């Protein structure tokens, strides 16, 4: 394992944990110059996964200074706060700050409370990791995933439900399901490298929102589409995450969306053209958990979304990622509120049949939309002559307004 630079640690002491078989595993380093009442407040923990090497910088400073009951965790560009109800007494009373001056490493015995307290931080921030020991004695994050037959069965169930239960299938959801099935089949072929290359070409030329979150992961793309021999486990992790996303969105469709009609019925003497372009924009956040606010959001870490907090927030909201303790949060940053709002728009667009569509004056359009209030804008799609076509960017909306998509929606626009 190639360990990252720990230049922020002045006087480093390595810490090894022992398992039940007395096998030692390297946890990380702490800085002895940062001790407060026996507690080293600055740590750096390293581990690996199929995605590569990772490092968590752990900071007990706020806890030690009695400023807040939180432990800070930094990894790459991401910042987390772990809420804790108890002071880490076992670590503080382990004698780590009293080690002889020239000590460069120490060992915590199997089952030690100090070791449990340290590992609990990693498990809280990265609950999808099954931590173990690799052949070199370093921590390793294993990610569980479904088998190919299991994922195929879940996709078949989704396809059947969509075709038999829904009158309107959202395009984005169908597209993601199709791409997921394509990669699953490609990964099982004898000449899988050729099939995977073909799949990667399809994703390369797909629009971003047509791809499941996991397929948009920069970490996952680089490993699957750029490595000469992609790791099969890594590929299956992406597929598993994609299936989880589609399943979660399918549940949202059944729980939060309604089928209704949108009718444009403006008197023809008031209508300069025959066809118009409708754009809908959500006004509230009905599909996000009510307990979440734009400034505090439950966050966990997963290697597939490392350094992509915007995708992590969506995956947590959809339940793709584990979050059993609800004690790991995004550190409030300027972009957090924007990412939370973007998560709502991603989910809403995924489960809506159409948010932009053409409509002929005098006709209706059947839509499936999440419940809530929407802003609408109407722009002229074509000129008075059939051959005179315009793009929607060339024309200022001729009408804007607000609609409410709730019980048995049947909306009629009768005037500008």
Domain ranges of the chain: 12-143, 258-285+352-413
From residue 224, how far is each of 42, 131, 201, 299 by CA, in Å?
35, 23, 12, 26
**Confidence band, pLDDT 50/70/90 cuts, at residue 2:** low
In this structure, how many other beta carbons lie within 10 angstroms of the beta carbon of residue 39? Answer: 21
Mean pLDDT of 233-240: 94
What H or E segment, with its residue span, contains residue 368? strand 364-370
b/e sequence 10-37, b meaning 16+ C-beta within 10 Å: eebbebebbeeeeeebbbbbbbbebbee
Q: What is the pLDDT of residue 52?
A: 94
Q: Span 258-285+352-413: which CATH code?
A: 2.60.40
CA atoms within 13 A on the CB side of 7: 1
| Banded pLDDT at 22 (limits 50, 70, 90) | confident
Contact 219, 286 (CB under 8 A): no
Strand partners, 142: 130
Q: How many CB atoms lie within 10 A of CB 116?
A: 15
Q: How far apart are CA 245 and CA 31, in angstroms?
A: 41
User: For the chain, how far is it from start to end, CA to CA, in angstroms?
Assistant: 65
Residue closest to 330 by CA, chosen among 342, 316, 344? 316
Helix-strand-coil percent breakdown of the chain, rounded to 5? 35, 30, 35
Residue 48 pLDDT grade (very low, low, confident, very high; cuts 50, 70, 90): very high
Query: Please, what sign has the CA dihedral across residues 31, 36, 38, 43?
Result: negative
With bands split at pLDDT 50, 70 and 90, how would you rate the model's confidence at 407?
Answer: confident
The maximal CA–CA distance of the chain, rounded, in angstroms, is: 92
- For the stretch 173-206, pLDDT in tens is 999 999 999 999 888 887 778 888 888 888 888 8
- What number of helices (H) and strands (E) belong to the chain? 11, 19
Comparing C-alpha atoms, which of 124, 131, 128, 84 is closest to residue 325? Answer: 124
User: Tokens 């979660």 correspond to what residue?
Assistant: 248
């Amino acid at each position: 394992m190639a360990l990252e630079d720990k230049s922020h640690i002045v006087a480093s002491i390595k810490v090894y944990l022992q398992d039940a078989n007395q096998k030692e595993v390297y946890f990380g380093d702490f800085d002895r110059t940062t001790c407060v009442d026996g507690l080293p407040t600055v740590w750096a923990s390293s581990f690996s996964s199929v995605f590569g090497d990772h490092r968590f910088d752990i900071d007990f400073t706020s806890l030690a200074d009695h400023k807040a009951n939180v432990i800070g965790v930094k990894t790459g560009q991401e910042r987390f706060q772990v809420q804790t109800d108890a002071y880490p007494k076992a670590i503080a009373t382990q004698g780590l700050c009293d080690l002889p001056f020239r000590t460069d490493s120490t060992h915590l015995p199997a089952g030690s409370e100090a070791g449990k307290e340290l590992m609990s931080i990693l498990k809280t921030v990265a609950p999808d990791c099954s931590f173990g020991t690799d052949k070199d004695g370093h921590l390793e994050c294993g990610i569980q995933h479904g088998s190919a037959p299991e994922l195929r069965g879940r996709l078949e169930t989704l396809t059947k439900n969509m075709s038999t239960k829904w009158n309107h299938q959202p395009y984005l959801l169908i597209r993601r399901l199709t791409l997921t099935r394509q990669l699953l089949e490609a990964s099982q072929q004898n000449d899988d490298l050729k099939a995977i290359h073909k799949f990667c070409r399809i994703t390369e030329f797909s629009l971003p929102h047509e791809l499941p979150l996991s397929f948009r992961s920069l970490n996952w793309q680089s490993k699957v589409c750029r490595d000469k021999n992609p790791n099969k486990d890594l590929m299956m992790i992406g597929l598993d995450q994609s299936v989880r996303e589609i399943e979660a969105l399918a549940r949202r469709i059944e729980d939060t969306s309604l089928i209704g009609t949108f009718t444009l019925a403006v008197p023809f003497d008031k209508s300069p053209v025959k066809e118009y372009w409708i754009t809908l924009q959500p006004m509230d956040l009905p599909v996000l958990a009510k307990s979440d606010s734009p400034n505090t959001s439950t966050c966990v870490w997963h290697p597939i979304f490392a350094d992509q907090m915007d995708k992590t927030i969506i995956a947590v909201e959809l339940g793709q990622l584990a979050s059993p303790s609800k004690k790991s949060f995004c550190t409030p940053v300027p972009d957090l509120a924007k990412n939370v709002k973007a998560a709502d728009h991603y989910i809403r667009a995924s489960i809506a049949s159409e948010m932009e569509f053409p409509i002929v004056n005098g006709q209706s359009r059947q839509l499936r939309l999440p419940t809530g209030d929407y802003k609408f804008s109407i722009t002229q799609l074509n000129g008075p002559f059939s051959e005179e076509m315009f793009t929607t960017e060339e024309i200022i909306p001729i009408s804007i307004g607000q609609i409410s998509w709730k019980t048995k929606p049947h909306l009629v626009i009768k005037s500008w």
